[in-house]
A and B are shown apart, each in its own frame.
Chain A
Amino acid sequence: MGPTPTAVALSRVVIRFAGDSGDGMQLTGDRFTAETAAFGNDLATLPNFPAEIRAPAGTLPGVSSFQLHFADHDILTPGDAPEVLVAMNPAALKANIGDVRPGGTVIVDTAEFTKRSLAKVGYTADPLTDGSLTEYRLHALDLTGMTLTALAEFGLSRKEASRAKNMFALGLLSWLYGRPTDATEHFLAAKFAANPALRDANLAAFRAGWNFGETTEEFAVRYQVAPAPTPPGRYRNITGNLALSYGLVAAAQRSGLTFLLGSYPITPASDILHELSKHKTLGIRTFQAEDEIAGIGAALGASFGGGLGITTTSGPGVALKSETIGLAVSLELPLVIVDVQRGGPSTGLPTKTEQSDLLQAMFGRNGEAPVPIVAPRSPADCFDAALEACRIALRYRTPVFLLSDGYLANGSEPWHIPDVDTLPDLRPTFATEPNAQAKDGSAVFHPYLRDADTLARPWAIPGTPGLEHRIGGLEKADGSGNISYDPDNHDRMVRLRQAKVDGIAGDMPPLVVDDPTGDARVLVVGWGSTYGPITAAARRLRADGQTVATAHLRHLNPFPENTGDVLRRYERVVLPEMNAGQLALLLRARYLVDVVGVNQVRGLPFSVDELSRAVQDVLKEVEQP
């Protein structure tokens, strides 16, 4: 037993686990996150992995990483630069060392640092010994070797035993940061329940990692990050895709409708299909279609039948679904299109995040075809955003876009679990009676006779006697819904469909400005997943004595009614986006405000550093006489 290490209290830590895509780094990160969540820290995570399932081993493109930011206070991003890097091979070290803060801790598995592995990633000398890592606190440890020793008695092959090295690393890091280990032990027991030998080996490796930390003198300090104060209630850690799935399940329950997800597998949206397929008892039906078009077609068919039709996809899939979305606009039936945005154009960057489908969602159809758009701002917020998208779809009988992104999908944070009885009541009213009179005085049903308040048309579902009617993509006569080529009628119907969508603005909260001092001259506006980096950057600038206001748009179509007023109130409006300026284009056109874009499309969220600097530049300009 070595000397008791010094305990150092930290306010926040950013750790990155990096290894080969087959090394189990995502699992390691997930488990460390679960332990951290259970401990009560606030946290945010950023998985980053290649599109290839198994890229060539030991190469730079094959590196998979998982970054976790945890703190004793409320945090908003997965952190810019890690203070701690765990690198399982030379490729992981090379790909990530540039991001680590000087003075940071680097824990390396030396087992893979062979001449051949080093050469594979272009190291001409061993970085562990050539002095190139002197500005870091380097811990070069034979994690694989120690794992093999710990598992010697299990009778596993060398290959099998060495695969548990990620659990050894997890055990070591859990010790270093004083994480509770019960949940991981239970997790491993459940995951390998069918294979007791692997279960025991992984548990042994995990415990060996912890014990190594406790007995070695390698680490002079242990770190403590106290739990973050949070409002009372029940919490869990949740990814955006899971929260979004649960939001849809909740919408199915709260609407009382038969729910049909029509979907085709696509990264990074497939997890939603996987998750929803588990919940048949909760009224969820899933249909893995032959293509993206059939996925949305089936969803629309379900909505025609009085169900809640949903389709999930990513950008390329939206392109294929566009014609059906236009049909849904014309049919005026509820439908939610979930777009988990990824890097584009075309196949682009399947596993990387981007916000570049906004204009596709807004305009990507023939004709005047307005579609409401809702965008979640954080992984946990995907739950509420999904419910909101379903609410709008059902109340206004319209397709609705729910624009998530790859960062939200795979990133996670603690979620304050809501009381299900407080969730909105989404039960729709179906038409049951004729609503008009024919010329001969008989009662008839007019499928396009609108509700005066919402402009929504009645939803009369097959099986309802006396309301038989035909709808389609051809222009319909206002009211009767019969085919109409009348010029004035078409002009009126185009305006009515637009007015219906515009009217939703009166049924949503106004745009809220966060301006603590009340005298900011610069407003930073954001939408979607940039909420975290923007809010964190504003906090940093304010802590530095500067004044800046922020506002976040959750509804992108229509915009909240006060959006123009808010934008025009400030001397400068700054708009960071992970695209080339799509929302900026909309705001400029709509409100004639000279929005300053801050744009990057690197497939990663904004770093707080870069955003703070960009906003700082604008603040300086404003202050110049």
Chain B
Amino acid sequence: MSSAARGAAAARHLPTIPAGSLTKKDFTSDQEVRWCPGCGDYAILAAVQSFLPELGIPRENIVFISGIGCSSRFPYYLNTYGMHSIHGRAPAIATGLAATRQDLSVWVVTGDGDALSIGGNHLIHALRRNVDMTILLFNNRIYGLTKGQYSPTSELGKITKSTPMGSLDHPFNPVSLALGAEATFVARTLDSDRAHLTSVLRAAAEHRGSALVEIYQNCNIFNDGAFELLKSPGTRDEAVIRLEHGQPIRFGADGALGVVRRPETGRLEVAEVATVGEQRVLVHDTADEDPSTAFALSRLSDPTTLDRTPIGIFRAVHRPTYDGLVHDQVAKAGTARRDDLAALLRGRDSWVVADPGATAAAVLS
């Protein structure tokens, strides 16, 4: 059994099977995949289908719930239980499922419009409650299915069909938002980096509680190259900050750059390690209960160009899950005896009307 499976089975009451007894093929449905050729979603689908056997959970105990948008077609292509629901509401539906079924591994697939615009309310509340679900947020910084309007993560000034003179909306940073909602697990990864994507998925699946994974995903039709700075061999080393728990946060060629805390203000900034000294480089701690350093890390990236974007796990802390607490309360309340319903209906102020043949017309009980 993988560590992911152990973690998953421990908190929920998930049935387990030997990890690897299923294959990618077992998780591939018979439906023809209908994303545009070249879409980043293909890579994510392949990674998830390949990763799921690792979980060691029977596929009938895995449920994917999605909202509306290109990403939300995802459940149709997985041979698990699935629901393609309505725009923005997948976290709410998943909450009801998780709160009533402890034997299921619950996943939400959503996009930047679905999760952050129409469904923003459900997302933040699922995160603060810490409902045990893994949320995969495919962020392509555009509305694809409706053919190219700006999204809540599009950069200010973006020219789209609905913003011919440029978007006037300041964009959300999904990681900052999730940390603000006190999510217990927050991570970011890239569709094109299979190894990184899989490692983040593994950690997210292992986490008990709401896990938000932002996946930068290229829409080659309406927003092609949105993440090129983070992917291109010529720029990525200095544009991407890879976070690893327990490691100094260094990046750039030969780790020449590092994240340091400015003593006077407490703010994080990027500095040349050679100039400031290795000792000043911040050591990443995903387990820090206080989310403020993780939040500060999330603010390093440029909201327009995405330069200096940290990827990896920002935060992974433990807090009781909402669904676990529900089950605890139910257990604490105890189970009903056979006559409890009758006692409830009878209440404390009932009276008996005797048979007309009897003497007393009404008897107080």
Which A residues fall within an 8 A CB radius of B?
34, 37-40, 180, 182-183, 227, 229-237, 246, 249-250, 253, 258, 260, 262, 279-283, 285, 287, 289-291, 293-294, 297-302, 304-307, 309, 323-324, 326-327, 331, 417-420, 462-474, 482-483
Contact A232 B356 (CB under 8 A): yes
Q: Which of A234, A249, A463, A470 contacts B352 (CB 8 A)?
A: A234
**Known contacts A297-B122, A324-B89, A463 near B96 by CB under 8 Å:** no
Identify the interface centre among A279, A285, A468, A482: most chain B CB within 10 Å of its CB. A468
Residues of B within 8 A of A34 (CB): 349
B3 sits at the interface (CB 8 A): no
B286 sits at the interface (CB 8 A): no
B329 sits at the interface (CB 8 A): yes
Contact B121 A304 (CB under 8 A): no
Q: How far is the CB of B70 from chain A (nearest CB, A)?
A: 13
Knowing that A468-B81, A471-B84 touch, tell me 6 more A-B residue pairs with CB under 8 angstroms.
A40-B351, A234-B350, A246-B345, A290-B122, A470-B76, A472-B82
Q: Which of B84, B100, B354 contacts A258 (CB 8 A)?
A: B100
Q: Which 7 A-B pairs have the closest CB atoms?
A: A472-B84, A301-B96, A298-B96, A297-B92, A40-B362, A280-B333, A294-B92
Residue contacts A-B, CB under 8 angstroms, 17 given: A40-B361, A234-B350, A234-B365, A253-B341, A258-B100, A260-B100, A262-B92, A281-B334, A290-B121, A294-B125, A297-B92, A301-B95, A327-B85, A331-B83, A463-B104, A468-B81, A471-B82
Residues of A within 8 A of B89 (CB): 293-294, 297, 323-324
Q: Which of B29, B96, B351, B356 contacts A297 (CB 8 A)?
A: B96
**Known contacts A305-B104, A466-B60, A417 near B97 by CB under 8 Å:** no
Contact B345 A420 (CB under 8 A): yes
Q: Which of B104, B345, B347 contacts A418 (CB 8 A)?
A: B345
Identify the interface centre among B84, B87, B121: most chain A CB within 10 Å of its CB. B84
Query: What is the CA–CA distance of A321 and B75 in the complex, to the nearest angstrom?
Result: 24
Contact A483 B104 (CB under 8 A): no
Contact A467 B97 (CB under 8 A): no
Closest to A483 in B: B76
Closest to A258 in B: B100
Query: What is the CA–CA distance of A299 and B354 in the complex, to the nearest angstrom?
Result: 42
Residues of A within 8 A of B93 (CB): 297-298, 300-301, 304
Query: What is the CA–CA distance of A285 and B75 in the complex, to the nearest angstrom?
Result: 28
Contact B95 A470 (CB under 8 A): no
Query: What is the CA–CA distance of A482 and B84 in the complex, to the nearest angstrom?
Result: 12
Closest to A469 in B: B81
Residues of B within 8 A of A462 (CB): 60-61, 63, 81, 97, 101, 104
Contact B329 A280 (CB under 8 A): yes
Contact A294 B121 (CB under 8 A): yes
Q: Which of A227, A249, A301, A304 contacts B361 (CB 8 A)?
A: A227
Contact A40 B349 (CB under 8 A): no
Tally of contact residues, B, Cβ under 8 A: 63
B253 sits at the interface (CB 8 A): no
Q: How far is the CB of A417 from chain B (nearest CB, A)?
A: 5
B273 sits at the interface (CB 8 A): no
Residues of B within 8 A of A463 (CB): 60-61, 101, 103-104
B340 sits at the interface (CB 8 A): yes
Q: Which of A182, A231, A469, A473 contacts B86 (CB 8 A)?
A: A473
Contact B96 A231 (CB under 8 A): no
Query: What is the CA–CA distance of A233 and B365 in the complex, to the nearest angstrom?
Result: 12
Query: What is the CA–CA distance of A285 and B104 in the complex, to the nearest angstrom?
Result: 18
Query: What is the CA–CA distance of A300 and B340 in the complex, to the nearest angstrom?
Result: 27
B328-365 contacts to A (CB < 8 Å): 329-330, 333-336, 340-342, 344-347, 349-356, 361-362, 364-365
Contact A285 B349 (CB under 8 A): no
Contact A287 B99 (CB under 8 A): yes
Contact A249 B100 (CB under 8 A): no
Residues of B within 8 A of A230 (CB): 353
Q: How far is the CB of A27 from chain B (nearest CB, A)?
A: 14
Contact B362 A301 (CB under 8 A): no
Residues of B within 8 A of A227 (CB): 361-362
Contact A468 B60 (CB under 8 A): yes
Query: What is the CA–CA distance of A230 and B353 in the complex, to the nearest angstrom?
Result: 7
Query: What is the CA–CA distance of A236 and B353 in the complex, to the nearest angstrom?
Result: 11
Contact B29 A38 (CB under 8 A): no
B2 sits at the interface (CB 8 A): no
Contact B76 A235 (CB under 8 A): no
Query: What is the CA–CA distance of A183 and B340 in the complex, to the nearest angstrom?
Result: 23
Q: How far is the CB of B93 from chain A (nearest CB, A)?
A: 4
Q: Which of B96, B122, B342 contacts A302 (CB 8 A)?
A: B96
Contact A262 B336 (CB under 8 A): no
Contact A237 B349 (CB under 8 A): yes
Query: What is the CA–CA distance of A287 and B104 in the complex, to the nearest angstrom?
Result: 19
Q: How far is the CB of B278 from chain A (nearest CB, A)?
A: 46
Interface string of B319-330 (1 = CB under 8 A from A): 000000010011
**Known contacts A253-B341, A282-B336, A471 near B83 by CB under 8 Å:** yes
Closest to B345 in A: A417
Closest to B27 in A: A468
Residues of A within 8 A of B86 (CB): 323-324, 326-327, 473
Q: How far is the CB of A174 from chain B (nearest CB, A)?
A: 15
Query: What is the CA–CA distance of A463 and B79 in the complex, to the nearest angstrom?
Result: 13
Residues of B within 8 A of A246 (CB): 344-345
Query: What is the CA–CA distance of A291 and B344 in the complex, to the nearest angstrom?
Result: 30
B80 sits at the interface (CB 8 A): yes
**Known contacts A232-B355, A323-B86, A463-B61, A309 near B96 by CB under 8 Å:** yes
Query: What is the CA–CA distance of A331 and B61 in the complex, to the nearest angstrom?
Result: 20
Contact A305 B100 (CB under 8 A): yes
Residues of A within 8 A of B61 (CB): 462-463
Contact A468 B80 (CB under 8 A): yes
B31 sits at the interface (CB 8 A): yes
Contact B100 A302 (CB under 8 A): yes
Contact B349 A183 (CB under 8 A): yes
B243 sits at the interface (CB 8 A): no
Q: Which of B60, B326, B344 contacts A465 (CB 8 A)?
A: B60
**Known contacts A260-B100, A285-B99, A470-B84, A290 near B355 by CB under 8 Å:** no
Query: What is the CA–CA distance of A289 and B99 in the complex, to the nearest angstrom?
Result: 12
Contact A285 B351 (CB under 8 A): no
Identify the interface centre among A227, A229, A420, A473: most chain B CB within 10 Å of its CB. A420
Contact A236 B355 (CB under 8 A): no
Query: What is the CA–CA distance of A91 and B148 in the complex, to the nearest angstrom?
Result: 62
Query: What is the CA–CA distance of A417 and B365 in the complex, to the nearest angstrom?
Result: 14
Residues of B within 8 A of A301 (CB): 65, 92-100
Residues of A within 8 A of B346 (CB): 234, 236, 417
Q: How far is the CB of B7 from chain A (nearest CB, A)?
A: 20
Q: How far is the CB of A112 from chain B (nearest CB, A)?
A: 32
Q: Which of B84, B103, B349, B356 contacts A38 (CB 8 A)?
A: B349
B59 sits at the interface (CB 8 A): yes
Q: How far is the CB of A299 from chain B (nearest CB, A)?
A: 6
Q: Which of B29, B99, B104, B341 contacts A420 (CB 8 A)?
A: B341
Query: What is the CA–CA distance of A258 and B100 in the complex, to the nearest angstrom?
Result: 7
Query: What is the CA–CA distance of A465 and B61 in the complex, to the nearest angstrom?
Result: 8
